[in-house]
Chain A
Amino acid sequence: MKTRRDFIKISAAGAGAATLGLSALSWKGGNSLYASNDQEPVSEEEMTAHSTYCEVCFWKCAGWTYVDKKGSIRKIIGNDDDPHCNGRLCPRGTGGVGMYNDNDRLKTPLIRTTVDGKQGFRKASWEEALDLVASKMKGVADKYGPEAFALFNHGSPGSHFKHLFHAYGSGNEGEPAWAQCRGPREVGFAATFGSWIGSPEPTDIRDTKCLVLIGAHIGENMHNGQVQEMSQAIDRGATIITVDPRLSTAASKSKYWLPIKPATDLALLLSWIHVLIYEELYDKKYIDQYAMGLDQLKAHVKNMTPEWAYGITTIKPDVIRKTAREMANASPSVIVHPGRHVVWYGDDSQRERAIAILNALLGSWGKRGGFYFKESVPVPKFPQPKYPHHEWDWKDNLDGKYPLSSMGITSELLKASIPEFEYKHQIKSWIVAGTNLPLTIPDKELFKMAAESVEFICVVDTMPMDITGYADVILPECTYLERYDYIRSSPHREPNIALRAPAVEPKHETKPAWWIAKQLGDRLGLGEYFNYDDIEEVLDWQLKKMGTSLEEMKKIGVKKYPRTSGALYLQDGEDYHFNTNTGKIELYSTEFEDHGFDPMPNYTEHPQPEEGFYRLIYGRAPMHTFSRTSNNPNLADLMDSNSVWVNPKVADLWDLKTGQEVWLQNQDGVVSDFPIKVRVTERIRWDSVYMVHGFGHTNKKLTRTYGHGASDSKLITNVMVDPQMGGTGMRGNFVTFLTENPEGEVES
């Protein structure tokens, strides 16, 4: 089928031919990517250090970028005062220098063009590209209203474009952080404790006596502060209980690893609740004082015994009892971790409710070694006019569906972009800033239909990510090492802020997101919302109001503030109002009940794989962030592809060997774009396979990672939607092995 917007695999119109010439091998052993030809290390005293906070993942650790006398970035080191990293960046933060050095970076603005019937990109000046995007924004506003322009975003660039969109008159913005990641836990915990978890998680891991991980793989999920604190907890002899069908790194460090049958976690959680209540192990004083709904909960879980759960989960009743008692013994210094990427089976808000309820029964919310009360310092708003009212946003399209969603649902914005779905309000154009939708959103066909339906797509990114192949205009953002962004004000034990300042001038013709947003704003007649020449003015104004200055923050990088909201933990017997309907911790959720949902969680059976198929489980590797980093030269050097983990029994059945390439085909007949290498390992159950998310890139301009491994997102076509908040449950997909090339060409 010929579509309006061909996915552009190779630049046809001559943009950046040099970037294409770099083969995947030429950099190996070549020296173009190491900072200089100096063989000897350069000492820190001979370099200048520039404050930054990291953008390789979204934990945002503060650090120092070291630049040598020749102007080369040599290394990035954590800021000792930063509670996100305590002076120690993770491999991605340390390897952030690769993001700057990557020769595959977007270098100039690009505009889609057709030459001899073939679509490609041509280089454009900023002037021309910005004029074009602004004219499209103006055109949409005139024809359909500004609401028809949607923003997909993630990370720091998103905040600048959100400001632009609010000034322009659109509230249609979505980021995968909600419906493809942590939305359900925010809903589940808000319904129970009246508070989101947020990021960084206020888990007091360093002082915990018992850490319970439900599929959370801290250590592979390299959110720095949590990994550091888990290590401290290990040093202090804390008990770790990990529930995972895979022997994750965290599971290997656990006293108890519960190798659960996938998709049955809720049954285990309910049986733990049963044990805590019926063995009277819960924190009675805490529950009496702070919680409501215990009687209903007790009646609700009456039959949810460990024996009942055994039949579902395959976890033995004595192990269920023993682990429940371990938690109770550690109470209140116990954390049943909410997890982060929790969109699994579509009943995820309910599973998170069960996790929240467990924490309540253990009295851990607001207690040392449990969850602390986080606090952040407000950043004053730079003077600007009030944002205009918008007539509608994504929520108005839902007709009452997903009532507890409080952030834009990316998948719903995609559907609203497709006329066939006949949504009341239609999306006509997009800006995509800092998120690689094709490898992030499940159901790629839906994404492609949406991309083909809209009139215009502008992509802002640092790299030629897969999403850029769908763009009409590509605007090259400089990396975080070359730009300012807004102040990082993080909720933590101690409120604190961090500054990101450029260490070097932007390479090539790249520009910071704040500048791009302002240029568009100025062109749209929204200059009064961008009432400054340089973002330094905004930052200095804000920082001075916060008792410091841009000059001082450049020297210290991180500033801490005293708490003003009260103590880190609840004092014994202290009166406390929870921000729920009843002011209490709700074991019985009145909010859920009001919206017609089960006020207490129930176990629902989910489909299991048919013979010859295996549940597709995906996760993270500590040196990569989603699909963002797979082309980073330093990080690709650590891991340049994913593999599919296969249990030896399954491997025997299929005659698979480690290192052998296979294609994966899912239950709907969808085949991976590329082959993936098998890893035969005892670390995975026989009914499941596992792969690291973020590989299988289809854009050839990503020379180091194109065609390496398989994309889990491509194989996720069965999406189980969470009725409460619109989360896209992605763990209900099953794959089988194709050992011969299915003649599957790279997608066109």
Chain B
Amino acid sequence: MRYAMAIDTKKCVGCGDCVVACQTENNVPIGYCRDWIVENVNGSYPNVEIELRSERCNHCDNSPCVRCCPTGASHIIEGGIVKVTHNECIGCGACIQSCPYDARYSHPDGYVDKCTFCDHRLAKGQSTACVSVCPTNCLYFGDLDDPNSDVSKALRNRTSKVLAPEAGTKPQLYFLT
């Protein structure tokens, strides 16, 4: 099993619903976030393009955050989800420095926090909070090993890219272009 997410940049309107839904689902304190929106503008008026992306932890196959964690708080669970065990985290921030995607933040309670792919919801057969709420249905989630999963189907039918491939982290967020 290998969980992954595909984000359709052609449909995302950058509304930020994924951010709020994650905050309320996961009790993320206001002022912090586990997912966020990036807007890239290219060209000059009137030949301009925008790419809107909902971003979060890439749950990399080759995760620098896990490798550099001195206590083992950062670890990988079934499906390739990168997680942090809060009470094992000493808040040193090495993982934050090592992440090429800036996907982690220091929680005010003293530990490092990040996207969990809502594994507590997956366990109940639900999708992640961000996928479930997205008004444009631009987020596809599932098991890459299952050819019938939403994410497998989306990737099969569309061209896609990953962010910072040069970092060699084998990220598992795919952006449909």
A76 to B132, CA, bound (A): 12
The contact string, 1 if C-beta is below 8 Å from chain A, for chain B 4-30, is 000000110111110111011111111
- Pick the contact of B15: A36, A230, A623, A683 (CB < 8 A): A623
Task: Identify the interface centre among A38, A90, A647: most chain B CB within 10 Å of its CB.
Answer: A90
A183 to B109, CA, bound (A): 51
Give B47-68 interface residues, CB cut-off 8 Å to A.
48-50, 52
Stretch touching chain A among B72-80, B133-141, B142-150, B161-169: B133-141
Contact status B27-A38, CB under 8 Å: yes
Q: Give B15's nearest chain A residue, CB to CB.
A: A622
A94 to B30, CA, bound (A): 14
Contact status A231-B138, CB under 8 Å: yes
Q: Is A31 an interface residue (CB 8 A)?
A: yes
- Pick the contact of A94: B21, B121, B124 (CB < 8 A): B21
Q: A36-B27, A231-B137 are in contact. Are A91 and B44 (CB under 8 A)?
A: no
A247 to B52, CA, bound (A): 13
Contact status A94-B31, CB under 8 Å: no
* Neighbouring B residues of A28 by C-beta, 8 Å: 30-31
- Pick the contact of B133: A89, A639, A682 (CB < 8 A): A89
Contact status A227-B45, CB under 8 Å: no
Chain B nearest CB, measured from A555 CB (Å): 21
The contact string, 1 if C-beta is below 8 Å from chain B, for chain A 596-635, is 0000000000000000000000000011000000000111
Contact status B46-A634, CB under 8 Å: no
Stretch touching chain B among A218-226, A418-426, A517-525: A218-226
Q: How many residues of B contact A (CB 8 A)?
A: 44
Contact status B31-A29, CB under 8 Å: yes
Q: Size range of the interface on A?
A: 35 or more
Q: Give A633's nearest chain B residue, CB to CB.
A: B30
* Neighbouring A residues of B33 by C-beta, 8 Å: 637
A682 to B14, CA, bound (A): 18
Contact status B52-A41, CB under 8 Å: no
A94 to B22, CA, bound (A): 10
Contact status A685-B16, CB under 8 Å: no
- Pick the contact of B120: A27, A43, A85, A259 (CB < 8 A): A43
Contact status A228-B135, CB under 8 Å: yes
- Pick the contact of A252: B19, B23, B49, B124 (CB < 8 A): B49
Q: A249-B50, A682-B48, A686-B45 are in contact. Are A29 and B20 (CB under 8 A)?
A: no
Q: Is A95 an interface residue (CB 8 A)?
A: yes
Contact status A34-B48, CB under 8 Å: no
Q: Offer 28 A-B interface pairs, CB within 8 angstroms, sorted by A.
A: A30-B29, A31-B29, A39-B86, A41-B26, A74-B27, A77-B132, A77-B133, A85-B135, A88-B135, A89-B17, A90-B17, A90-B135, A219-B15, A220-B13, A222-B13, A222-B15, A224-B135, A235-B137, A247-B48, A249-B50, A252-B49, A259-B45, A623-B15, A633-B30, A639-B16, A684-B45, A685-B45, A686-B45
A residues contacting B by CB (< 8 A) are: 27-31, 33-36, 38-41, 43, 74-78, 85, 87-91, 94-95, 97-98, 219-220, 222, 224, 227-228, 230-232, 234-235, 247, 249, 252-253, 257, 259, 622-623, 633-635, 637-639, 647-648, 681-686
Instruction: Report, nearest first, the 9 A-B pairs whose CB atoms are least far apart.
Output: A219-B13, A622-B15, A231-B136, A28-B31, A252-B50, A75-B24, A91-B17, A259-B46, A638-B16
